């Protein structure tokens, strides 16, 4: 048997893959979401600062722009703090002394003009401080006064707080995920163990059946296992029937062998001039027994089979019998159609023996009637217009080796084999005297959907 992963391994592997996939998708998504949130908060602060800066500016009558009150954030007063603002005239004709206002934190440096589009609404971009620290920049173009010149307002804020927030979040997320993973893994192992417990019980119960301690899978089972338990019960029942049948047939064979063997034994001990004839008779008997048991042993009644159309098989057998008995001008008539759910070879053996029997005894006609009833019940009747049997001999006709006319070729096993095969499929064969004389044999399978 090919070794495949156990159910436990399969379930754990599936859970592991799900958890890993979830982590690989969720972790970057969460990190991106937090970073965006922190950045938005930072940008909001820059925007607020920009608005405060606009509010603090004033234009004097001579066109000069001054800051009437300083911004409250002390970071703008601390040199190289990473927080800067700058107001720059866009009109190049403005006097140099009034062209630029800047925060004290810039000290004596100008914030460089970057090749970034400028707009009348705040626009953001990233930049580096003079020492390489990452910064966030917001810029806006404004006009001070109705006819005043245009100015560019720049507010810059360092993003170390954003980076630090992200790092903190990553640490917390990793720790949280590790704990979640551990808890999930424990829960999954517990679920798998608990979920598979009934299967372990099935295994134990089967072991008890094998040891002979019990006959069936006793106890209550989860609803998902009901079909399995039912199938095992059917299998056990079928095996029991097969063993019983095999035992009975072996007993039959042993019993049947005794007579011809003792006949041969007797002739061997005291040979007489005509011993050969009695030995030949005994070997012929042995051969018939062998044929019968080989046919029954080859029966495939225990398997599952597709439906076989009965009519074409009857017709093929009739054609064969016409060739086998060319000197008998038999008129074969069939009506109806039905399906047999079993091995085609067994159906051929049953119908072949019935038709062969009818062919041997008929005067002129052999009738076959096939009826399939609702639910799959199948009835096949084979009738001839031969001499038939009387009421007293009818029950004896299916006995093993019983022959009513030694002048007609045959083994006397045909009807017995038919009956045994029909029984194998849970059916039966009935023999009766036909309405106009002759013999009528009926094969009945009440439901060919299941075989014994």
Partner 1 sequence: MKLLLVEDDTQLADKLAQTFREAGFRVECARDGATAEFLGATEAVDAAVLDLGLPQMDGLSVLRAWREAGLRFPVLIMTARGRWHDKLAGFDAGADDFLVKPVHIAETVVRVQALIRRASGHAKAVLVCGRLELDTHAGRFLLDGAPLQLTAQERRILAYLMHHSNRVIPRAEFWEHVYDRDAEVDSNSLDVLIGRIRRKLGDARLLHTVRGQGFRLSDQP
d(C-alpha 142, C-alpha 422), whole Å = 103
CB of 345 to partner 1, least distance (A): 4
Shortest distance, position 347 Cβ to partner 1, whole Å: 9
Residue 183 or 290: the one with the smaller Cβ distance to partner 1 is 290
To partner 1, the closest distance from the beta carbon of 344 in angstroms equals 7
Q: Cβ 343 to partner 1, closest distance in Å?
A: 9
CB atoms within 10 A of CB 365: 16
Q: Which is closer to partner 1, CB of 119 or CB of 291?
A: 291
Shortest distance (Å) from residue 326 CB to partner 1: 6
Report the interface residues with partner 1, using CB under 8 A: 287, 291, 294-295, 298, 316-317, 319-320, 323-324, 326-327, 344-345, 348-349, 351-353
Q: How far is the CB of 314 from partner 1 (least distance, A)?
A: 11
For residues 434 and 441, what is the distance between their CA atoms, to the nearest angstrom?
9
- Pick the closer one to partner 1 by CB: 151 or 340: 340
Of the pair 233, 325, the CB lying nearest partner 1 is at 325
Q: Which is nearer to partner 1, 295 or 419 (CB)?
A: 295
Which structure tokens are listed for 126?
A: 């990233």
**Least distance in Å: CB of 352 to partner 1?**
3
The minimum distance between CB 381 and partner 1, in angstroms, equals 19
Candidates 53, 32, 70; CA nearest to 156 is 53
Per residue, what are the HEC states of the chain?
Answer: CCCCCCHHHHHHHHHHHHHHHHHHHHHHHHHHHHHHHHHHHHHHHHHHHHHHHHHHEEECCCCCEEECCCCCCHHHCCCCCCCEEEEEECCCCCCHHHHEEECHHHCCCCCCCCCCCCCCCCEEEEEECCCCCEEEEEEEEEECCCCCCEEEEEEEEECHHHHHHHHHHHHHHHHHHHHHHHHHHHHHHHHHHHHHHHHHHHHHHHHHHHCCCCCCCCCCCCHHHHHHHHHHHHHHHHHHHHHHHHHHHHHHHHHHHHHHHHHHHHHHHCCCCCHHHHHHHHHHHHHHHHHHHHHHHCCCCCCCCCEEEHHHHHHHHHHHHHHHCCCCCCEEEEECCCEEECCHHHHHHHHHHHHHHHHHHCCCEEEEEEEECCCCCEEEEEEECCCCCCCCCHHHCCCCCCCCCCCCCCCCCHHHHHHHHHHHCCCEEEEEECCCCCEEEEEEECCCCCCC
Distances (CA, A) of 394 to 361, 405, 415, 416: 15, 14, 11, 12
Residue 192 or 418: which CB sits closer to partner 1? 418
Query: 345 or 442, CB closer to partner 1?
Result: 345
* CB 291 to partner 1: min, Å: 6
Closer CB to partner 1, 87 or 317, in the complex: 317
Q: 106 or 264: whose CB is closer to partner 1?
A: 264
Closest distance between partner 1 and the C-beta of residue 293, in Å? Answer: 12
**Residue 398 or 411 with smaller CB distance to partner 1:** 411
């Amino acid at each position: 048997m090919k070794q495949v992963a156990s159910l436990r391994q399969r379930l754990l592997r599936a859970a592991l893959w799900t958890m890993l996939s979830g982590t690989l998708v969720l972790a970057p998504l969460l990190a991106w979401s937090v970073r965006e949130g922190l950045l938005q908060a930072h940008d909001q602060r820059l925007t607020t600062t920009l608005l405060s800066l606009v509010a603090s500016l004033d234009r004097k009558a001579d066109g000069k722009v001054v800051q009437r009150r300083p911004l409250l954030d002390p970071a703008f007063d601390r040199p190289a703090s990473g927080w800067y603002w700058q107001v720059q005239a866009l009109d190049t004709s403005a006097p140099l002394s009034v062209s630029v206002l800047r925060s004290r934190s810039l000290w004596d440096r100008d914030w460089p003009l970057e090749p970034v589009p400028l707009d009348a609404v705040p626009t953001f971009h990233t930049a580096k401080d003079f020492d390489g620290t990452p910064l966030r920049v917001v810029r806006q173009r404004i006009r001070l006064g109705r006819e005043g010149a245009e100015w560019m307002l720049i507010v810059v804020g360092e993003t170390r707080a954003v980076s630090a927030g992200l790092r903190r979040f990553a640490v917390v997320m990793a720790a949280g995920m590790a704990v979640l993973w551990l808890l999930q893994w424990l829960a999954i192992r517990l679920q798998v163990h608990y979920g598979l417990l009934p299967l372990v019980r099935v295994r134990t119960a089967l072991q008890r059946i094998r040891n002979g301690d019990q006959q069936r899978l006793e106890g209550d089972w989860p609803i998902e296992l009901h079909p399995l338990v039912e199938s095992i019960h059917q299998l056990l029942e079928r095996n029991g029937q097969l063993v019983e049948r095999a035992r009975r047939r072996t007993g039959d064979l042993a019993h049947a062998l005794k007579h011809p063997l003792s006949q041969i034994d007797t002739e061997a001990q005291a040979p007489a001039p005509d011993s050969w004839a009695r030995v030949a008779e005994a070997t012929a008997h042995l051969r018939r027994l062998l044929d019968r048991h080989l046919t029954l042993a080859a029966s495939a009644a225990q398997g599952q089979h597709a439906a076989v159309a009965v009519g074409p098989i009857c017709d093929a057998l009739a054609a064969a019998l016409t060739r086998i008995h060319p000197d008998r001008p038999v008129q074969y008539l069939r009506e109806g159609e039905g399906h047999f759910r079993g091995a085609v070879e067994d159906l051929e053996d049953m119908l072949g023996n019935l038709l062969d029997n009818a062919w041997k005894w008929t005067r002129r006609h052999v009738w076959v009637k096939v009826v399939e009833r609702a639910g799959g019940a199948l009835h096949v009747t084979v009738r001839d217009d031969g001499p038939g049997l009387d009421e007293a001999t009818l029950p004896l006709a299916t006995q093993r080796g019983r022959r009513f006319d030694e002048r007609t070729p045959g083994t006397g096993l045909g009807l017995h084999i038919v009956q045994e095969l029909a029984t194998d499929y849970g059916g039966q064969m009935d023999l009766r005297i036909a309405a106009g004389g002759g013999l009528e044999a009926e094969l009945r399978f009440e439901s060919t959907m299941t075989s014994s």
